[in-house]
Structure 1
Amino acid sequence: MTRYLLLPFAFVFHAALLTCEKSAPNVATNKATDTTGTIIEEIGTQAFEGEFYDNMPNAFDGELMMVPEDFVPIDVDTEPQFPGGQVALQKYINKYLEIPRAVRRLKVTGKVYTSFIISETGVIEEASIVKSLQYNCDQAALDLINHMPKWKPAVKDGIPVSVRHYLEIPFDYRDR
């Protein structure tokens, strides 16, 4: 009897893991695809006034991050900064990152790789997942980013500019 109860659970658990996987959007074509390449959604574009710079990556010390093939680094005079700097950003993550119950139950550990735009006014825009860990982790990471305070924007030639920023959000079911 126990054997029959475990098999459906294993199938449901495995199916849930498969549905959580979502590939990063294909920025070149403005389309998001599933793992088989089937287009699942059109990605809207947002108009920006002024110049837009894509700055990459800002992995935590000692960490490596995959750089997209189409990445072109842009020099800005001053990088965007979280209020209080990198130490304050880490404190913010530690204080406000919600570890979902499902993550604790499934004992998930790893990182969600995120991307977002820091506008010329310092407001966070277009937060997205670059590399998924698990659906609940992805949602918690996006929630954390979307509620961040205004950043000090990047500056190019004395003018604040919008830049794309990449950030790793660590998850460990044992935290908090």
Structure 2
Amino acid sequence: MNKIDNVYRYMCCLLFFVIVISQVIAQGNETGLKNDSITLENMFPTDREPEQFAQYPGGDVALLRFIKTNLNYPEQSRPFGTHGKVYVRFIVSENGDVKDPRIIRSPLDVYCNKEALRIIKIMPKWIPAKTNGANVPMKFVIPIEFIAPKKIK
């Protein structure tokens, strides 16, 4: 493949992610996921582009639901109303295991960072990336958003 084909494929993948994210937002408005505590914006592979990207089982909508279901706002952060995004990098290995999660950017406290890492560590196996028909490792970055719970008066 030439470079133009790779750029075209990459642009198609980005367009696909934008469409999926817009569908997730639309479905969220219908299913009570509005004001979700996570987003999939800026989810991108950070390695050289494989022929087939690694995928969460069930796709992006299932990943969004997994994170929403399992994410717990840290009790220690409640008094301060901490909110923002924690960017977590991890590797989907050749066999689909999620490995080496690391915080790459976070303006939040250590408790939110620990919770974001916990979520990534408990993820089920992914469908691995492929190049030339062989499974290959792939790096991902996912932003996990923490929104401070509203205080009840």
TM-score (norm 2): 0.67
Question: Match of 2:77?
Answer: 103
Question: Match of 1:94?
Answer: 68
Question: Match of 1:160?
Answer: 135
List gaps (5 residues or longer) in structure 1.
1-57
Aligned sequence identity (%)? 34
Q: How many residues align?
A: 114
Aligned partners of 1:105, 1:82: CA distance in 2, in Å?
34
> Closer, same or farther in 2 for the Cα pair 1:72/1:141, shift >3 Å?
closer
User: For each residue in 1:75-109, what CA deviation from the matched residue of structure 2 results, as whole angstroms up to 9, or x when unmatched?
Assistant: 21111111100000000010001111122221011
Aligned partners of 2:66, 2:90: CA distance in 1, in Å?
17
Q: As a proportion of its length, which structure holds more helix?
A: 2
Name the structure, 1 or 2, with higher relative contact order (CA <8 Å, separation 6+).
2
Question: Match of 1:20?
Answer: none
Matches within 5 A, 1:1-80: 61=21, 63=41, 74-80=48-54
Q: Hey, which bits of structure 1, 4+ residues long, moved more than 2 A?
A: 58-65
Aligned partners of 1:94, 1:151: CA distance in 2, in Å?
18
Aligned partners of 2:46, 2:103: CA distance in 1, in Å?
19
Question: Match of 1:134?
Answer: 109
Question: Match of 1:170?
Answer: 145
Aligned partners of 1:64, 1:167: CA distance in 2, in Å?
7
CA drift of 1:64 comes to 5.2
List gaps (5 residues or longer) in structure 2.
1-13, 23-40
| CA RMSD across the alignment | 2.5
Secondary structure of the equivalent of 2:94? coil
User: For each residue in 1:56-87, what CA deviation from the matched residue of structure 2 results, as whole angstroms up to 9, or x when unmatched?
Assistant: xx89858458x9xxx97512111111110000
TM-score (norm 1): 0.59
Q: Is it true that 1:84 corresponds to 2:72 in the alignment?
A: no
Q: Which has the larger radius of gyration?
A: 1
